[in-house]
Chain A
Amino acid sequence: MFEQLYNAIFIGSIYALFAVGFALVFSVLDILNLAHPTVFMLGAFAALFAIGTMGLPWYAAIVIAFVATGLFGIVLDRIAFAPLRRRGAPPLSAMISSLAVTLIVVRLVELRYGGDFITFPRGTVPSFLLHVGDATLEGVRLAIIVLAIVLMLGLTYLVRSTSLGRDIRALAENPRAARILGVDVERAIAATFFISSGLGGLAGVLLGFAYDSVDSKMGLPLELRAFTVMVVGGMGSLPGAVLGAYLLGLGEVASLVYLPAELRDAFAFGLLFLVLIVRPSGLLGQRVVDRI
């Protein structure tokens, strides 16, 4: 039982890191970045590259993954979103262009690494076991949980208490007013994408380490989870995304008891639709039905 709770919190942490970036871009720019799952995958592959090809230790790989995916996020914006923003295109176009990027990136990775699962070189991640009561737990997961919590606290601090965070919040509220008030909009947007993609990439590395497995399609199941998390927590709400992530983690692990493994995805789906029908604004969100 305790083991399951532990795993639930672990997977919830991964979902949270991933979803929070997704929610950040949505709340600031009102677009659904459908290329976000790719940074999850890219983070894991960046680490794979750092360790396998460059021979770096796991902690360096994590930093590299974060920075590489963060930069990718900025590039993604420049290529796929900024031109659309400039001409005032509707959010629909941004979704389509991010889909296009996903297709390209996933295929490119597949061409280089193939479509199968790849494991990290032996001894990459120090594996240690914890014994709590009768339970035997993977220590790596605890480290990941702690890291995730630290990062989310860091993000909260950034958003609440720094000038950059204030700029981002202003941008989220009212882009035109923000610009007039002297907010460096370009910088705020770049920062938003860097943080969002960096966290997403980090989630990917950490999951890759935990499961010792990386593959080109690993981002896709996360996409469904991210949607569910966002909808459950409330679209565009960062704390909502975190809350939703842990709820989903708990729910999924609990449902494993009752549902066959193949249907685990169905839990996320079911939850998504339940929320859409019953309480579309989610737990902490607002503004769901079309307004004027």
Chain B
Amino acid sequence: MDEIGDFFAAYSTLIGFVGVSALLALSVWVTLYAGQLTLGNAAFMGIGAYVSALLGRHLGTPFPIALAVGALAAGATAAPLGLTVFRLRGVYLAIATLAFGEVLRVILLATPITGKGQGLNGIPPKTELWHIYLSLAVVAYVLWRVQGSTVGRAWAAIREDETAAASQGIAVRRYKLGAFVAGALVAAWAGGLSAHLTFSIEPNDFAFSKAVQILVFAVVGGIPNPLGPIFGAALLTALPELLRPLKDYRDILQGLILLLVIIYLPRGLVTVAQLRRTRRLQEIGAADVA
């Protein structure tokens, strides 16, 4: 019994990270499910992290409210961004969110209240594991139920063929915006949890490589259902930590896995069991991850 306790204590931070990664993966999953590539969820995560940490530090805001405000702040940024971009072709979202991520980083580096390059230190460790896993369970459940609803079906239709989707009466832009903002809310919530888990944050935590990392979790895990990104996040977060000597190679490994999966297993690892079916789909050129 003691050993389990020890194990738990030693690995509790890692378990926390896995949970946060899973949440982040889900945040990207939502938009990918609707066929959109967003590279902005690391930035939204950063907004959640900074806003919740600053509210706690300067205004003594209670933890859950700080998290919620952080999420809303991200949502409020995502909405106009989405409105601008979803009128346009798909590639523009990738461009705009990548640009957004860069600029947020620059703003964070330049604004005194965020501690500039030093970031924020001494954030109180308010996050418990149960916060993370409860959030994860709720978000996963909600997304799973929404997937089978008219909304989920509309997203899937948009992913498959936007033009045909519009003809079925789906207000494509509105649904894309919904997925995008939902993803931003979840990412920011995860950011708030993460900030109070790691005690310190700095702008580079929420930059390009983080955005790609989140994407890897979702794509590798698979798109067909929310379990995919959770699985992908768990695998890719835990694995490198357990193989500590490979720390330097983590990015390379993740990049390689992402590359291999997107080319050969577009539906992700979760559906390896359905590989036979996947191959037939590939032959028709149908049902890619996006």
Taking Cβ atoms with an 8 Å cutoff, the residues of A that contact B are: 32, 34, 79-80, 83-84, 87-93, 95-97, 99-104, 106-108, 111, 220-221, 223-224, 227-228, 231, 235, 260, 262-263, 265-266, 268-269, 272-273, 276-277, 280, 288-290, 292
Contact = CB atoms under 8 A, between A and B. Distances in A.
A290 B212 contact: no
A99 B258 contact: yes
Interface stretch (B120-128, B129-137, B146-154, B247-255): B247-255
Interface in B254-289: 254-256, 258-259, 262-264, 266, 282, 285, 288-289
A88 B252 CA distance: 27
A103 B251 contact: yes
Contacts of B262: 84, 93, 96-97, 100
Q: Which 3 pairs of residues, A with B, have the shortest CB-CB distance? A: A92-B290, A103-B255, A88-B285
Given A262-B109, A273-B99, 10 more contacts: A79-B259, A80-B259, A92-B290, A97-B263, A99-B39, A100-B258, A100-B259, A107-B251, A220-B208, A280-B87
B84 A276 contact: yes
Q: Describe B's contact surface by its main secondary structure.
A: helix
Contact of B288 (A83, A93, A235): A93
Interface stretch (B8-16, B51-59, B88-96, B230-238): B88-96
A266 B102 CA distance: 9
Nearest to B283: A87
A89 B266 contact: yes
A272 B96 contact: yes
B69 interface: no
Contact of A289 (B39, B88, B248): B88
B162 interface: yes
29 contacts: A32-B91, A32-B95, A34-B94, A84-B262, A87-B285, A90-B35, A90-B290, A93-B266, A93-B289, A95-B91, A95-B94, A96-B258, A97-B258, A100-B255, A102-B212, A102-B255, A103-B212, A107-B251, A111-B248, A111-B252, A224-B102, A260-B110, A262-B110, A269-B99, A272-B96, A272-B99, A280-B87, A280-B88, A292-B163
Interface of B: 35, 37, 39, 84-85, 87-92, 94-96, 98-100, 102-103, 106-107, 109-110, 162-163, 208-209, 212, 215-216, 219, 248-249, 251-252, 254-256, 258-259, 262-264, 266, 282, 285, 288-290
A32 B90 CA distance: 11
Nearest to B81: A273
Contacts of B100: 269
B240 to A, nearest CB: 13
A205 B251 CA distance: 25
- Interface SS of chain A: helix, strand, loop or mixed? helix
A227 B109 contact: no
A82 to B, nearest CB: 10
Nearest to B288: A89
A36 to B, nearest CB: 12
B28 to A, nearest CB: 11
A268 B96 CA distance: 12
Contact of A224 (B99, B212, B264): B99
A99 B257 CA distance: 12
A106 B208 CA distance: 12
A80 to B, nearest CB: 7
Contacts of A227: 95, 98-99
Given A83-B263, A99-B215, A104 B91 contact: no
A30 B37 CA distance: 15
A93 B91 contact: no
Contacts of B98: 34, 223-224, 227
Contact of A101 (B209, B255, B285): B255
Contacts of B252: 103-104, 107-108, 111
Contacts of B209: 103
A276 to B, nearest CB: 5
B171 to A, nearest CB: 13
Q: Which of A101, A224, A288 has the most CB of B within 10 A?
A: A224
B104 to A, nearest CB: 9
Contact of A104 (B39, B248, B259): B259
